[in-house]
Structure 1
Amino acid sequence: MAPLKSLEREYPLIDSIFQNFCASHGIFTVEDFLIHDLYLLAALAEQNNNSGKLKQGITQVFSIIDNQCRPWLNGLELLNDVEQNKHVLSTGCERIDAFLQGGLREGHLTELVGPSSSGKTQVCLQAASNVARKYSGRVMYFVSGNSFSSKRIVEFVRQMSDPANNQANSTLQQVMKCIICHSIFDIFRLLDVLHQLKHSLRSQMDCQVRMLIIDSISSLVSPVLGGSGAHGHALMATAGFLLKELAHENNLAVVVTNHMVAGEGGVSKPALGESWKNIPHVRLLLSQDHVTNISSMSILKHPYLVCFFACMAVWLSLKCLLISE
């Protein structure tokens, strides 16, 4: 759901007065309305000098929610959508593709979680390179640090290309043009960019966007999770559900990375906590043996690959990822 401020231009009732009233009660996004005591909010609006306008604003927000609700679909319609529109995109690494029965699925939010230097960024860079090369698809690549490496993209493209191909240079140029990189440093900027992307995807005219990568989601969300308030968790949930909506409605393969933090007894666990772990469709755990410099992958969660894989702790050597993050 959108931040209230982003709705002001299109909906004049959601002006600064309405936003300030909502902010004073911990409401910053449309989603916040869904978890707030609305009867209490209406009562508080009654006590305000601008009560009439505030109640009209509340009604306007509910109208926005109603308009954004998707029609109900039966099982057959959902199955047809999956079979016709939700494809599997190769990552460019044969072992990862074999492990995931084809690669990364469109319509899914896939999370790569692991400690530093476990190969998360390398998987993202290789997948971006392959999608741009093999499918001629545009890749939106959002970075929160300095993780994007154009030189690494060049290496991946050259590894995947036929040395005898005289069109190698033009292929490389096309790949580089198809990968659109943005630097994003906080959750608020991320939400703004995702909403802009949502609107622009409705009128795709040339190269279709096939993949969205955020490296890393945890570095953007973690700073707002401190304290006992629910605001940070609401922002995290907003970002998560917006990513899933983008994936489903536009048939995108969305990939995010997440780091590890210390848990009970010093055992490492994925960052962002219990509230986040149920948001991604797929969770993949990466680790690396620093002696052999070989990364491994296991499944924490996957809707199509039964839990047998995770329960058996199936590990896959990723020899194609020889350079650490």
Structure 2
Amino acid sequence: MLSLIELQCRPWLNGLELLEDLQRNKHTLSTGDKGTDSLLQGGFREGQLTELVGPSSSGKTQFCMQAAASVAENHLGRVLYLDTGNSFSARRIAQFICSSSDATLGQKVMSRISFHTVYDIYTMFDTLQGLEVTLRSQMNVNEYRLRLLVVDSISSLITPILGGSGSQGRALMVAIGYLLKKLAHEHSIAILVTNHTVGAGGEGGKTKPALGETWKSIPHVRLLQSRDHKNSNCTISILKHTSMPSGQTVKTMTRKENQQCL
């Protein structure tokens, strides 16, 4: 069963087809932060899976909600927000909508954001497969199409199934990764998932993204977010990107600076 799932989720395209599709159908979507948009040369790329990695309280959920508000408002697109840890806040997203002083417009923007809670990997499969059926039936409908899918956080779903020496958990992890990439590619959706960090061992105290080496190859783009808790400044660094070198870093807007557009 797992082999069939992985086979069906794997995108079968050659390099030339991918390049032509990228130039013809894939656009960038603003993250809602000017610094991050500049770092990523425009923002999230449709058709790609972007992973945001960071320790607890580094601002990953706030980044996700800011991105959801930006896409719904500035790109007139629909957003599906899958919450795995009761961290979603409609009020916080509404605060990110800079035009919310216009109550009618603010309500229209908020209506483009759909929210679902997902608490285990099997519900996640059901949700994504149901989404795929819905998207196929709406392929010719361009107005307010789904442009961003957020999963906050993917590691909360996958970590519980990775215990033990068996390979079933890793197979499910790979299958969910390929299903996300398949949805992104076939329907020109930008997908944003969050992942936490774990200790790498040793005396250095360094941390690394959770979910191990198997998951590492799945995201197209991997970003690291960190926060200086003394002044609440956040930085985002590129760990992996399909067209840019790793190591580039940018300071994102602080919470106080964000309030200026509310």
Normalising to structure 1: TM-score of the pair?
0.73
Q: Which deviations, in whole Å up to 9, do the C-alpha atoms of 1:90-120 show, x marking residues without a partner?
A: 1121111111110010000000000011111
Cα separation, partners in 2 of 1:106 and 1:290, compared to 1, 3 Å: same
CA drift of 1:321 comes to 4.1
Name 2:260's counterpart in structure 1: none
Preserved CA contact (<8 Å) 1:119 1:321: no
Aligned equivalents of 1:258 and 1:272: distance in 2? 8
1:179 aligns with 2:113: yes
1:269-300, Cα deviation, whole Å (9 max, x unpaired): 11101100110000000000000101111000
TM-superposed deviation, 1:28:
4.5
Counterparts of 1:287 and 1:252, CA distance in 2: 26
Aligned positions of 1:299-318 closer than 5 A:
299-305=238-244, 307=245, 310=246, 313-318=247-252
Q: Does 1:264 align with 2:201?
A: yes
* Match status 1:213 vs 2:150: yes
Match of 2:222 among 274, 283, 297: 283
C-alpha contact 2:150 2:191 (8 A) present in aligned 1: yes
What residue in structure 2 maps to residue 227 of structure 1? 164
Q: Match of 2:137?
A: 203
For 1:125-178, what per-residue CA distance to the aligned partner results, in whole angstroms no more than 9, with x for missing partners? Answer: 011001101111110100001111111111100xx3286xxxx21221111111
Match for residue 147 of structure 1?
87
Give the CA deviation at 1:314: 3.0
Aligned-partner residue type, residue 239 of structure 1: I
Please list, as runs of the form range in 1=range in 2, the aligned pairs for 1:54-73 lying within 5 A after superposition: 72-73=13-14
Aligned to 2:119, what secondary structure does the other structure show?
coil
Residue of structure 2 equivalent to 1:319? 253
For residue 195 of structure 1, report the CA deviation from its aligned partner.
0.5
1:82 pairs, out of 2, 22, 28, with 22
Residues 88 and 72 (structure 1), Cα distance of their counterparts in 2 relative to 1, 3 Å cut: closer
Tell me: higher relative CO, structure 1 or 2? Use CA pairs within 8 A at least 6 residues apart: 2
Aligned ranges for residues 161-176 of structure 1 at < 5 Å?
161=99, 168-176=102-110
Greater strand share, 1 or 2? 2
8 A Cα contact 2:10 2:179, kept in partner = no
Distance across 2 between alignment mates of 1:71 and 1:185: 30
CA–CA distance in 1 between the matches of 2:10 and 2:62? Answer: 37
1:183-203 CA-partner distances (Å, limit 9, x unpaired)? 000001001110110111012
| SS of equivalent residue, structure 1 residue 237 | helix
Give the match for residue 78 of structure 2: 138
Q: Contact (CA 8 Å) 1:140, 1:179: kept in 2 or not?
A: yes
Please list the CA deviations of residues 239-265 of structure 1 after superposition, one character each: whole Å capped at 9, or x if unmatched: 000000000000000000000111121
Give the direction of change, closer, same or farther, for the CA distance of 1:117–1:72 in structure 2 (3 Å limit).
Answer: closer
Counterpart in 2 of 1:242? 179
| C-alpha distance in structure 1 between counterparts of 2:220 and 2:179, whole Å | 13
Q: CA deviation at 1:207?
A: 2.5
| Partner Cα separation in structure 1 for residue 3 and residue 94 of structure 2 | 40
Aligned pair 1:30/2:4, yes or no? yes
Letter paired with 1:193: T
Q: Which has the higher helix share?
A: 1
- Extract unaligned runs of 5+ from structure 2: 258-262
Unaligned runs of 5+ in 1: 1-26, 35-64
- For residue 212 of structure 2, what is the amino acid of its counterpart? G
1:99 partnered with 2:99: no
Give the drift of 1:267.
2.0
Distance 2:171 2:37 in 1: 34
Task: Name the CA distance, whole Å, in 1 between partners of 2:109 and 2:11.
Answer: 35
Alpha-carbon distance in structure 1 between the residues aligned to 2:228 and 2:217: 28
Corresponding residue of 1:192: 126
- For 1:190 and 1:200, the matched residues in 2 are separated by 15
Pair 1:229–1:74, CA change in 2 (3 A): closer
> 1:293 and 2:244 equivalent?
no
Q: Could you say if the C-alpha distance between residues 321 and 299 of structure 1 is closer, same or farther in structure 2, counting changes exceeding 3 Å?
A: farther
